[in-house]
């Protein structure tokens, strides 16, 4: 089973499983896994431009554009003119999206807690630290490509 010794395979598998669990957990709230990183970013700092969301959420422009259109259609965000740049608009959370923050983050935290429950507290800390290092290394690799 060489795939079980492949970091890429295992991380991709974990990501797909998390997406399934998150999708099931957030479905009653009307939130999709694709919308969640955008919501997390806006819950931290509302009123960002689309470009700022691309940079902070570390997602592709096309992905964010499509997801924002669906979120606007679903009443999760509103776009307003940017007073500092007539070429861009700022994205703000709707009252509906604001009201979902506590419930949605609790669902995600519970999924994370249960998924990592087989690891000790020290192992969880080490695992998350290592994943963070891999993410930073891959950002360098992508930026240097």
CATH number at 115 reads: 1.10.10.10
As to burial, measured by CB atoms within 10 angstroms (0-12 exposed, 13-18 middle, 19+ buried), residue 49 is: middle
Report yes or no on 141 lying in a domain. no
pLDDT digits (tens, 9 = 90+) for 68-99: 999 999 999 999 999 988 888 999 999 999 99
pLDDT digits (tens, 9 = 90+) for 124-135: 999 999 999 998
Report yes or no on 108 lying in a domain. yes
Domain that residue 99 falls in = 2-119
Read off the pTM: 0.85
How many domains, the chain? 1
Report yes or no on 60 lying in a domain. yes
Phi and psi at residue 90, in whole multiples of 5°? -100, 145
Report yes or no on 76 lying in a domain. yes
């Amino acid at each position: 089973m060489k795939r079980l010794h492949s970091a890429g395979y295992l991380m991709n598998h974990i990501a797909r499983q998390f997406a399934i669990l998150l999708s099931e957990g957030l479905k009653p709230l009307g939130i999709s896994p694709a919308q969640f990183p955008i919501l997390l970013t806006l819950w931290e700092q509302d009123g960002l431009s689309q470009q700022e969301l691309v940079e902070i959420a570390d997602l592709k422009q096309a992905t964010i554009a499509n997801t924002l259109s669906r979120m606007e259609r679903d009443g999760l965000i509103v776009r307003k003119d940017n007073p500092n740049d007539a070429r861009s608009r700022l994205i703000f959370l709707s009252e509906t999206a604001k009201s979902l923050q506590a419930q949605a983050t609790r669902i995600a935290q519970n999924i994370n807690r249960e998924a990592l429950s087989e690891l000790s507290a020290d192992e969880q800390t080490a695992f998350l630290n290592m994943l963070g290092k891999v993410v930073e290394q891959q950002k360098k690799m992508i930026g240097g490509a």
